[in-house]
Structure formats: structure tokens, C-alpha cells
Structure 1
Amino acid sequence: MEPEKILNISVDCVVFGYDINTKSLNVLLINRFLESEDKKEVLVNDYVLTGYHVYKNETLDDTATRVLKELTGLTNQYKKQFKAFGDPDRLMNPKDIIWIKNEAFHLRTTTIAYYFLLKTEDVNLKNNKNKAKWFPVNNLPEVGFDHEQIILEAYEDLKVKCLSKPIIFKLLPDKFTINDVQDLYESILGIEIDNRNFRRKLINKKYIIALDEKQVGVSKKPAQLYMFSKDIYDKMFQKNYLISI
């Protein structure tokens, strides 16, 4: 028996993933598709965030974790609750009304928004039942509800947080090059960074550990690999992480 839902409270999850090959910060969206009963007319065909009603026996964090697991199969990823969206007209677009009537949602639903950080390579989308797909955060498709606004506000929060907390390492492989870190910052912030200055600053941070390894399978000269040590960071800096770019 399915747990009882709170019909006017939902959680929506902005799942950010970084593709180290294309150097693109992406967001994971699902296809929202609805045909007329005679299946001759497509009524709704766009993309939305993954979200769901909160169960009465759940905390908001529980709901967000459940939504992510159902979408990606992953747990224990970095997540942040960043804002509630409750404008009276947030679900009043004609396509949204068609969808809500079909799904028997509450027209006045307040959603609590979270964002997650993970690596695109960790998500297998081959047999995803929701037809989930990665889109570059700066090149979104047609997005339903007020989800484009939610995505953009999550993105702005990420831009601020990545300069004050070491969260970008959640988007990178365990072993990375200095250029990988720079590429990620440039992708998130939308700026160009001076390579020599950035490299010097990053290498001097004690929580960036040089490994006795280099890249493999590259055509150019292999670069030195590094790792981020959360243990060293926690001991040295606690909450005082600032990166100067």
C-alpha cells in the first residue's frame, strides 16, 4: 500500500552533472508527454524536473533522497535545499493545467527545491523509465511548470557556493588534473581563468594531494593527477573555504 501523500506539498530536484569530456555542466530532465484519449493529438511534450509529493511519514530530505534514487539509482550524493516556490500562479500555464488535471494534482502546490551534484558518468540512462536526458544548463529545452526558474535559481546558488565550499569535487572524478578543476570552474562561472595563476593557487592548497600517477590513454603529454582530501580540508579549514579566481 502506497503511503499517503500531502497533496499540496512537493519536492523538486535539480540534478546537476558535469561531463568531463564535453566540459559541460548539465541538468537532468525527464520527458513530460501526454496524448489525447484517442491518441491522435499530442497535448503535452516537453521536459520537467523530477519531483514528487511528500509522503506524510517523510521529512523533506527523505523525499528528495527518494526522488533522486528513483531517477538515478544513486544515494548519498551532495544535496542542498535552497528555496520554496509557492506563487499562486506557478502551475497555471495551459499545458500545466492539462497535465495537472490528468494526474489529479493540486493546483495550489508549494514545492521545496533541492539541487544535487554528481558525475554524469555515474548515471545510466539506457533503460530509464522516465526518458531522462542531460541538457547543458545554458541550453535548456522547452521546460514545463516553473521549472526553468527553479533551475536558474539553483544554478545561481551553485555559482556562489562553489567559491565558498569545496563542493565542485562532487562533480569531478576521484582523480583529476588541475586543468579538469579549472575547466569545471569556467563551466560553472562562465568565465575564463588565468591558467598559471589558478594552477599555482590550487597546488599550494594542502587538501589537493598530488598522486604518483598521470593520465593514461591521452594523445598529448599526460598530466599529473591529484585528489581532494576531505579529511585534511575538515581538519584545516572547517567551514573557511575560499578560492580566489
Structure 2
Amino acid sequence: MKSKKIKNISVDCVVFGYNTIEKSLNVLLIKRYLESETTSEILVDDYVLTGYHINEDETLDDTASRALKELTGLSSLYKKQFKAFGSPDRLLNDKDQIWIKNEGFNTRTVTIAYYFLIKTEAVNLHENKYNAKWFPVNDLPELGFDHEAIILEAYEDLKIKCLSEPIIFELLPHKFTINDVQDLYQSILGIEIDNRNFRRKLIHKKYIIPLDEKQVGVSKKPAQLYMFSKDVYDKMFEKNYLISI
């Protein structure tokens, strides 16, 4: 028997991905498009977050994981529930009303927002049935519903969280250089970081493990590679900032 949806409670997912080549923090969005059945007039043409209404037999985490799995094919990623959005006017935009009427949603829906951290190259966009696309977090397209506000709230939470927990390593390759870590922090925080000071602090962290390997296939002098040890981190973690910037 198919589980019934709870029509006025939904989950929306902000999927953050870091592009190591362009050094940009991105958000994965899906196309929202609707034409008039009688005139072929374009009624809705924008982007939104991935979200679902909750099924009666699901937890909030279950729904968030289901949304991520269907969007990316991935599971078991870092996720955080960060806020509920329930303003009475959050779905009252004209385009949103047209979309809701077409989809049969409840116009007074409360959504629970999550964000996920993922490597951009882990998602195959060429075979994505939702027309998903990565957008830089600081250069978003036109968005439906209140999804711009949700993304910006998630981004602010990520900025705070990345200074107190080692979540940035969810966005980096398993093996990385010190410059890779610095580039990612700069991308998230939107600041310039002193290179020598940052390097000195990072390499003295016991959970940043130097490898007997260097970069390959680079035109300049290859840099030392490192890896993050969650086991070491968990043993010594005492609610201090991961890196003082």
C-alpha cells in the first residue's frame, strides 16, 4: 500500500558542491517549467531546490535522504537540518500559485530545510532527469518560492559550521594539498587568507596527515599531498575551532 503524503509539511534540500577547478562553492538546482495547455504560453520558467512532501511513514531525515538519492543517486552524505520555514506568504507569488495549482500542493506548507555537502564531480548531470544544474552560491538564477532565502540561510550556517567542525573535507578529494584547503575556505568565507600563516597552522593539526605522495600531472612544482583523519580528529576533538583564521 502506497504511503500517503502529508500535504502541508515538506522538506527542501540545499545541496552544496565545491568545484575544485573553478574554486567555487555551488548549489545544485532543478528546472521548474510549465506551459499553458491551451496557448503554449510559458507560465513558469525558473529554478528551485529539490524538495518533497513527507510521507506518513517517513521521518524528516528519511524524506531528505530520499530527495537527495533521487536527485543525485547518492546517499550517506553529510547533512544538517538547519531551519523550518513557515511564513504564511512564502508560497503566494503569482508563479508559485500557478505551480501549486498545477501540482495540487497545499498553499500553506511548512518546509524543513536541510543542507548537504557533496563533491560536484560526484553528480552525473548529463543523465539527470530533473535538468539539475550547478550555480555559484553568489550568482544564483531566478528562483521560485522562498528558495533564495533558504539557500542564503544555509550558506550562513555553513560559514559558521566550517570554522567549528571539519565538514569542509566532505567537499575535497580524499587527497589534497594545503592550497586546496585554503582555496575552499576562501570560497566559502569570501575572504583572503594569509598563505604562510594558514599553512603553518594547518600542517600542525594532528588530524591532517602528510602522505608520501605529491601532485601529478601539474605544470608547476608538485605540492605535498595530505589527507584528513576523522579517527584522529574524533579522539582529540574538544569544541575548538578547526582553524583560527
Which interval holds the TM-score relative to the shorter structure?
Answer: over 0.9
Percent identity of paired positions between Structure 1 and Structure 2: 80
How far apart in 1 are the matches of 2:239 and 2:75? 24
How far apart in 1 are the matches of 2:124 and 2:238? 34
Residue 243 of structure 2 corresponds to residue 234 of structure 1: no
- Per-residue CA deviations over 1:200-234 (Å, capped at 9, x if unaligned) read 00000000000011111111111100000000000
Find the counterpart in structure 2 of residue 202 from structure 1: 202
Find the counterpart in structure 2 of residue 52 from structure 1: 52
Q: CA deviation at 1:29?
A: 0.1
How far apart in 1 are the matches of 2:39 and 2:222? 55
Gaps of 5+ in 2: none
Find the counterpart in structure 2 of residue 80 from structure 1: 80
The root-mean-square deviation of aligned C-alpha atoms, in Å, is: 0.9
How far apart in 1 are the matches of 2:4 and 2:240? 42
Q: CA deviation at 1:3?
A: 1.6
Find the counterpart in structure 1 of residue 99 from structure 2: 99
Conservation of the 8 A alpha-carbon contact between 1:88 and 1:108:
yes
How far apart in 1 are the matches of 2:218 and 2:168? 24
How far apart in 2 are the matches of 1:171 and 1:206? 20
The verdict on how the C-alpha distance between 1:204 and 1:106 changes in structure 2, with shifts beyond 3 A counting, is: same
Q: CA deviation at 1:239?
A: 4.0
Find the counterpart in structure 1 of residue 65 from structure 2: 65
Q: CA deviation at 1:243?
A: 1.5
The verdict on how the C-alpha distance between 1:238 and 1:122 changes in structure 2, with shifts beyond 3 A counting, is: farther
Gaps of 5+ in 1: none
Find the counterpart in structure 1 of residue 112 from structure 2: 112
- Per-residue CA deviations over 1:179-211 (Å, capped at 9, x if unaligned) read 000000000000000000000000000000000
How far apart in 2 are the matches of 1:86 and 1:37? 31
**Counterpart code for 1:35:** E
Residue 25 of structure 2 corresponds to residue 25 of structure 1: yes
Conservation of the 8 A alpha-carbon contact between 1:166 and 1:241:
no
Q: CA deviation at 1:39?
A: 5.2
Q: CA deviation at 1:67?
A: 0.3
Residue 149 of structure 2 corresponds to residue 123 of structure 1: no
- How many residues in Structure 1 have an aligned counterpart in Structure 2? 245
User: What are the within-5 Å matches in structure 2 for residues 88-237 of structure 1?
Assistant: 88-237=88-237
Find the counterpart in structure 1 of residue 35 from structure 2: 35
How far apart in 1 are the matches of 2:214 and 2:133? 32
Q: Secondary structure at the match of 1:233?
A: helix
The TM-score normalised by the length of structure 1 is 0.98
Q: Secondary structure at the match of 1:152?
A: helix
Moved segments of 4+, more than 6 Å = none
Q: Secondary structure at the match of 1:62?
A: helix
**Counterpart code for 1:141:** P
